[in-house]
Amino acid sequence: MKTLVALACSLCCLLSFGQSRQTDVTVKRTLKLMGTRFEITVVAPNEEIGYINIDEAVSEIERVEKLISSWDKDSETTLINKNAGIKPVKVNRELLNLIERSIKISEITDGAFDITYASMDNIWKFDGTMDKVPTEAEIKNSVSKVGFKKIQLDAENQTVYLPEKGMKIGFGAIGKGYAADRAKELLVSKDVKGGIINASGDLTTWGTKVTGEKWLVGIANPLSKDKVFSWLPIIESSVATSGNYEKYIELDGKKYSHIIDPRTGYPTRGINSVSIFAKQAELCDALATAVFTMGRDVGLHMINQIDGVEAVVVDSENKVHKSSGIMFDTN
């Protein structure tokens, strides 16, 4: 049965913490991992143990990064990309499983989420240097090597093969969520009572605050992030948000999002932000990107078919739309 949640506008990762019981404390650390901001919070018997727990979570996130990073020249992901069109690459079972799950999400989303997006030529620039829209031929050519169906997996031999030279895979739209899930899993296995792994807005929680209260996420309008509209309790759950209100370009009077549809090569349009709620941060991360790409109506229709997943979409006119299990006033 789908979870009922109360939301407004889009997600702003503001967390509320209660007063400590005498026996437990809340320990928090903010640092840069995987090229982005991570905030790790744990409930621990004392500060010393709390910081040890956080260090263990950091080590796990760094381990995941080394496995999936396409920037690390020695990672298995890099080896897969280097050997595109040459030969299959034997990989860790963990990476093979992640690729398998990514392909399944691609199938569900009709390619709106696709780890072979990394094969795209970066003809769209969002650094202020673009002065004209790429030609239709340039855009078509930019996605010529994209396609999750091309990935060849051999589960028995644990190999991955990209059959065309120039093909690449990347985990930018799922990696942070996956790393957060793995860090949470590690801390839960070590009997850490509660906490939050917040990977730059993709977050997952377990347990409760030291007071026994639920963890709360502040919900704010993306146009006024410092103002909390309401507090949403999240229990043993995850949240991820994708938005285009900070990174975009305007050409010939039109606004172009930095989120590119891997199927067409064109920037997505019509949505300002998408927030996804589900058990796993990995799934939230991937589906937030997918719904953004699919568009409001198609995206929400898809979410309504998946048990345990909910979404809130803010369109380009800042109107709020929601999946069927979300209960709140959109007026």
Sign of CA dihedral 216, 217, 221, 223: positive
Distance CA 201, CA 273 (A): 12
- What is the reported pLDDT for 143? 96
Q: How far is CA 297 from the centre of its chain?
A: 21
Distance CA 193, CA 184 (A): 11
The arithmetic mean of pLDDT across residues 252-259, rounded, is 86
- What is the reported pLDDT for 231? 63
Percentage of the chain exceeding pLDDT 70? 87
Distance CA 112, CA 56 (A): 34
The arithmetic mean of pLDDT across residues 293-302, rounded, is 97
Residue 221 Cα distances to 139, 144, 200, angstroms: 33, 38, 17
The arithmetic mean of pLDDT across residues 38-67, rounded, is 97
Please, which pLDDT band fits residue 314 given cuts at 50, 70 and 90? confident
Residue 317 Cα distances to 183, 220, 229, 259, angstroms: 37, 16, 19, 18
Please, which pLDDT band fits residue 297 given cuts at 50, 70 and 90? very high
- Alpha-carbon dihedral angle through residues 190, 59, 206, 204, given to the nearest 10 degrees: -160
The arithmetic mean of pLDDT across residues 8-17, rounded, is 43
Percentage of the chain exceeding pLDDT 90? 68
Distance CA 70, CA 14 (A): 30
Q: What is the pLDDT of residues 157-188, one digit of tens each?
A: 999 999 999 999 999 999 999 999 999 999 99
Please, which pLDDT band fits residue 8 given cuts at 50, 70 and 90? very low
Q: What is the pLDDT of residues 228-247, one digit of tens each?
A: 555 667 778 899 988 876 67
Distance CA 310, CA 331 (A): 19
Q: Which of 106-110, 137-141, 288-292, 327-331 has the weakest average pLDDT?
A: 327-331
pLDDT of residue 283 exceeding 90, the answer is: yes
The arithmetic mean of pLDDT across residues 289-311, rounded, is 96
- Tell me the whole-structure pTM to 2 decimals: 0.89
Q: What is the pLDDT of residues 192-224, one digit of tens each?
A: 999 999 999 899 999 999 999 988 776 556 566
Please, which pLDDT band fits residue 289 given cuts at 50, 70 and 90? very high
CB 130 within 8 A of CB 124: yes
- What is the reported pLDDT for 22? 55
